[in-house]
A = this chain, B = another copy of it.
Amino acid sequence: MLLPAQKPIPNIPQSNLPKVVIVGAGFGGLKLARKLIKGPYQVIVLDKNNYHQFQPLFYQVATAGLEPSAISFPLRKVFHNTPNTIFRMAEVHSFDTKMKRLYTDIGFLDYDHLVLAMGADTNYFGNKSIEYNAIPMKTVSEALYIRNKIISNYERAINIEKQEDRKSLMNVVIVGGGPTGVELAGAMAELRNNVFPKDYPELNFSNMKVVLIEAGPKLLGAMSEESQKHSLKYLQDLGVDVMLDTKVHDYNGEEVKLEGKAPISTHTLLWAAGIKPNFVDGLGKEHFAPNGRIYVDEYNRVIGEDGIYVLGDVALQREENYPKGHPQVAQVALQQADNLGKNLIGLAGGKQMKQFHYKDLGSMATVGRKLAVVDLPFIKFQGLMAWLTWLFVHLMAILGVKNKMFIFMDWAWNYLSFDPSLRLLIKPKYVRASERKELIEEK
């Protein structure tokens, strides 16, 4: 980590308004920033990327169905003509609660209200060799990496003489039976069943295994029993080897070792088995739960601190029905941001803050073509109708008319053609000669 920069971030317009600094422009941070655009604050949004990422569709980037740009939205575009809302691309290191000052790689920033909305990253639960060899999927870059990796594995496999020796390049193993794992496994199986055999007539794809491993006894643990059963059946019908009650012991890059079961050969282990909140240094140990979440009160305030708020995956907020905190999903972050936005605007007018109550709007997951499961508060359904619901809800949730339009077209194309056409190995090959050393040092 770099030392905190010693100068203030330059070129922030002077303002008499109190300053809200938002760390992270994911679902929570971006929603809050948009909520405050016309509020009585100067709002500064910081993110390490210059775009908002729509995580629920990462798996479609990984499986060549969508382009990264379809599910990424330029943050500067959100803040056109919003003089009191400023975006900066920056990495946040730490903050000082007494000085009310935040340190970043581009300088420091003084705040009146600080909102921590950094989201979560992949959790390998301390297993270094899995961390070293597995592939995560918590950013657009990682999703694109998965796509490139799988395509280049087949381009390699085709040059190997013996069927036996190709197996580890062809097999794909996914760990984690939550929505991400289920959606990835389903999409990979569809590629194997419908697309890859046409692309690689020399390879025998009946030898390619798609394996989904879950440590617990059920897939989609947070959903209804109907959804769990249906998703399992859908995956099995697509030819996914679903292994429940199975723990990954280790992975060396070529073979997955399982507890009490035969190992599986694969160069491609996709890790969707856990998340941990991103960390910014500034609060005492007493504020952190063992899982890394930060305890907040019913107003998303860090207890005992002045003007520090936490949203979404990072926040641990207890309610009657959620004694261990809310689930780490987009809906919670969005609703908390909505409530906090109202409270911050009210605060400036001397109003009392409103408590947050999570309203579970339901959940859904898609397994494949015409196959999805939906749990709504009053109804559960599966199959074609669930799939159409899933498509509609995700299309509506994505930011920007152009993104909606292009995703709709991509989906229509993929549906009609059975041929997601983004099987391009556009690797980050080119680096300007004078920067090659720089790149190496960065890593």
Q: Is the CB of A161 within 8 A of B440?
A: no
Q: Is the CB of B67 within 8 A of A69?
A: yes
Within 8 A of B (CB), among A391-443: 400, 402, 405-406, 409, 413, 417, 419, 421-434, 436, 439-440, 443
A74-117 CB mask vs B (1 if < 8 Å, else 0) is 10110011010010110000000000000000110000000000
Which segment of A135-143, A235-243, A316-324 sits at the interface?
Answer: A135-143
Tally of A interface residues using CB under 8 Å: 72
- Which residue of chain B has its CB nearest to the CB of A104? B159
A187-226 CB mask vs B (1 if < 8 Å, else 0) is 0000000000011111000000000000000000000000
CA distance A426 to B71 in the complex (A): 11
- Which residue of chain B has its CB nearest to the CB of A106? B159
Q: Is the CB of A77 within 8 A of B423?
A: yes
A423-B159 contact, Cβ under 8 Å, with A198-B80, A200-B76: no
CA distance A69 to B53 in the complex (A): 19
Is A253 in the interface zone, CB < 8 Å from B?
yes
Q: Is the CB of A253 within 8 A of B50?
A: no
Residues of B near A142 (CB, < 8 A) are 430
Within 8 A of B (CB), among A41-95: 49-51, 67-69, 72, 74, 76-77, 80-81, 83, 86, 88-89
Residues of B near A140 (CB, < 8 A) are 426
- A241: shortest Cβ distance to chain B, in Å? 23
Q: Is the CB of B11 within 8 A of A161?
A: yes
Is A158 in the interface zone, CB < 8 Å from B?
yes
Is A345 in the interface zone, CB < 8 Å from B?
no
- Which residue of chain B has its CB nearest to the CB of A419? B77
Q: Is the CB of B139 within 8 A of A430?
A: yes
Q: Is the CB of B50 within 8 A of A107?
A: no
CA distance A74 to B422 in the complex (A): 8
Is A132 in the interface zone, CB < 8 Å from B?
yes
Q: Is the CB of A131 within 8 A of B433?
A: yes
A80-B428 contact, Cβ under 8 Å, with A10-B160, A50-B155: no
Q: Is the CB of A443 within 8 A of B423?
A: no
Is A144 in the interface zone, CB < 8 Å from B?
yes
Q: Is the CB of A443 within 8 A of B443?
A: no
CA distance A435 to B198 in the complex (A): 29
Q: Is the CB of A199 within 8 A of B402?
A: no
A432-B145 contact, Cβ under 8 Å, with A402-B413, A426-B69, A440-B440: yes
Q: A74 touches which one: B135, B400, B424, B434 (CB < 8 A)?
A: B424
Is A151 in the interface zone, CB < 8 Å from B?
yes
